[in-house]
Amino acid sequence: MGKRGRATVVVLGDIGRSPRMQYHALSLASQASLKVDIVAYGGSDPHPAVLKHPSICIHKMAQWPKFTQNLPWVLRYFVLLLKPIFQFLVLLWHLCVKIPAPDVFLVQNPPSVPTLVAVKWASWIRHSAFIVDWHNFGYTLLGLSLGRGSRFVAAYRWFEKHYGQLADGSLCVTKAMQHELAQNWEITATVLYDQPPDFFHPASVEDKHKLFLKLDKEFRHFEGVRDCISHGSRHMTDESHDSLFTTIFKTGVIEKSTRPALVVSSTSWTPDEDFDILLEAAVMYDRRVAAILNEDDSIKNEAIWDAMNDGKQIMYPRLLFVITGKGPEKEKYIQKIKNLNLKRVAFRTMWLAAEDYPLLLGSADLGVCLHTSSSGLDLPMKVVDMFGCGLPVCAASYSCIEELVKVEINGLLFSSSSELADQLLMLFKGFPNECDVLSSLRNGALETRSSAAWATEWEEHAKPLVLEVISRNST
């Protein structure tokens, strides 16, 4: 196929934090039988399936110096001009010199500037085709920090639209984005919905136990903070057969009836995800459960949760929120978490190895997504991954989210912290054995998982486009 048998995947970002582009690389190599070069930044390790594939080679680019982040405000606009020039030259060097000439460049957008410009120039120089995979609009992300009325944002939008129109083909993540590109950008795009690859699946109780043992120290300790997880840990053995959630019984591994509910949220710690909503919902859950139980503050925390209350098991569990991801606002929110002083809710922030992240999702009880989209036209990949693991989701509501989250089937939508708190109370009432609504949503998430797969979607929608643009370009 094609005259060179090669494709180049371009990401002006951390390839380890770009799952969709990793999946593209795997499909180009395995389903289209191409040699694949990935040109991206380093930082986080990609999935082992990418690292080990014999037909995939990763080329890591030099990054813009980090010391420029601390420059005075007056120099900010100078950096906004200088940084893309530096990125453009580095990117062009890799695309035109460092790697073999491909049949097709497949580039992630955003960021748009200078990525689309550099890739288009490289496609001219190397006589290659050029496909844009539209994840969002770059100008809307820039508008979060500079304001939509900024001249920089207007210029950015012009470059994004002009060079997007010069592409030989386009993919996008939603029907809403496809409509926007067609109506207002004069770009025809093929919808390729995100789907989880095969390594996202529900975890067995044995796999859960191994993961929980591996993460046990991080679960029990959080930078010196004593909470409902670390405070009660003295009642648990440190022996290797016992974790916070699981233990080994005569019949094998079992989940503890007094375990906390495990809630997972993945975030990039950026302004388009309002993490305050989750913190406020946690405070509301904590206070509302206290009011329901009419607790005496003198009762010790571990007695409330690990024993019985008047001979009956507590109706509402402790909640352990595990927040994964890296980003600019992480430290700010860690400080907020430390000041919450909650009795029934605990937070842990982690960055997991690529092979452990699917296991965590497959071991959790609920996923929470705070993504609202700068454009309102993209869908959160994290929810796709959660459904791949059969994990039901509470997601922030915005214009096109219902293309993914089907209300009361595989998840729920919220528009405020109060709504999210109500959902947590409703879903976890009677945990772990009498949560009918949570069980129903989990079944819906499992059905969503089985309805489609990345390889099937890519074969049907992306592969024909790749073949077409290569064929057209080689004639």
Same domain for 63 and 18?
Answer: yes
Centre a 10 Å sphere on the Cβ of residue 427 and count the other Cβ atoms it contains.
22
d(CA 454, CA 28): 12
Q: Higher-confidence residue: 110 or 303?
A: 110
Same domain for 128 and 109?
Answer: yes
Q: What percent of the chain has pLDDT over 90?
A: 61
d(CA 63, CA 315): 51
Q: What local confidence, expressed as pLDDT, does residue 61 receive?
A: 95
Residue 329 CA: distances (Å) to CA of 56, 219, 224, 332, 449: 33, 22, 21, 5, 32
Please report, as a single letter, which amino acid is at residue 226: R
CATH number at residue 338: 3.40.50.2000
Which one, of 333, 291, 324, lies nearest residue 421 by Cα? 291
- pLDDT above 90 for 117: yes
Which tokens sit at 254? 């079992």
Same domain for 458 and 339?
Answer: no
| Residue 121 is assigned to a structural domain of this protein | yes
Q: Higher-confidence residue: 370 or 306?
A: 370
Q: What local confidence, expressed as pLDDT, does residue 313 receive?
A: 47
Same domain for 62 and 160?
Answer: yes
Residue range 352-376: mean pLDDT, rounded: 91
Same domain for 30 and 110?
Answer: yes
Lowest-confidence segment of 313-322, 356-365, 366-375 by average pLDDT? 313-322
| Residue 92 is assigned to a structural domain of this protein | yes
Same domain for 124 and 170?
Answer: yes
**Beta-ladder partners of 246:** 255
- Expressed in angstroms, the distance from the first to the final Cα of the chain is 13
Q: Render pLDDT for 443-462 as a digit per residue (tens, 0 to 9).
A: 999 998 877 789 999 999 99
Same domain for 228 and 161?
Answer: no
**Residue with token string 């980090």:** 66
Q: Render pLDDT for 248-293 as a digit per residue (tens, 0 to 9).
A: 887 888 998 889 999 999 888 877 688 899 999 999 999 999 888 7
| Residue 442 is assigned to a structural domain of this protein | yes
Q: Render pLDDT for 169-213 as a digit per residue (tens, 0 to 9).
A: 999 999 999 999 999 999 999 999 998 888 889 999 999 999 999
| Residue 200 is assigned to a structural domain of this protein | no
Please report, as a single letter, which amino acid is at residue 188: T
d(CA 323, CA 397): 20
Same domain for 286 and 309?
Answer: yes
Which one, of 165, 145, 394, 157, lies nearest residue 265 by Cα? 394
Lowest-confidence segment of 86-90, 130-134, 339-343, 344-348 by average pLDDT? 339-343
Where is 105: in which H helix or E strand?
strand 104-109
When pLDDT is cut at 50, 70 and 90, the band that residue 333 belongs to is confident
By CB neighbour count within 10 A (0-12 exposed, 13-18 middle, 19+ buried), where does 123 fall? buried
Q: Render pLDDT for 123-159 as a digit per residue (tens, 0 to 9).
A: 999 999 999 999 999 999 888 888 888 898 999 999 9
Range of the domain at 72: 6-195+453-474
Tell me the average pLDDT of the chain: 88
| Residue 1 is assigned to a structural domain of this protein | no
Same domain for 259 and 126?
Answer: no
Tell me the backbone φ, ψ of residue 238, rounded to 5 degrees. Answer: -95, 10
Same domain for 249 and 152?
Answer: no
The widest CA-to-CA distance across the chain, in whole angstroms, is: 80
Q: What local confidence, expressed as pLDDT, does residue 288 receive?
A: 93
Tell me the backbone φ, ψ of residue 250, rounded to 5 degrees. Answer: -60, -35
Q: What local confidence, expressed as pLDDT, does residue 440 receive?
A: 96
Task: Please compute, for residue 46, the number of CA atoms within 13 A of its CA located in the half-sphere on the CB side.
Answer: 28
What domain count does the chain have?
2
d(CA 364, CA 348): 14
Taking only Cα atoms into account, the Rg of the chain, rounded to an integer number of angstroms, comes to 24
pTM greater than 0.75 (yes/no):
yes
Residue range 424-442: mean pLDDT, rounded: 93
Q: Render pLDDT for 3-43 as a digit per residue (tens, 0 to 9).
A: 799 999 999 999 998 999 999 999 999 999 999 999 999 88
Same domain for 173 and 113?
Answer: yes
Same domain for 174 and 301?
Answer: no
Do 141 and 12 touch, CB atoms closer than 8 A?
A: no
d(CA 217, CA 241): 14
Q: Render pLDDT for 33-92 as a digit per residue (tens, 0 to 9).
A: 999 999 999 888 899 999 999 999 999 999 887 765 566 666 666 776 788 899 999 999
Centre a 10 Å sphere on the Cβ of residue 226 and count the other Cβ atoms it contains.
14
- pLDDT above 90 for 391: yes
- pLDDT above 70 for 339: yes
Q: Higher-confidence residue: 217 or 73?
A: 217
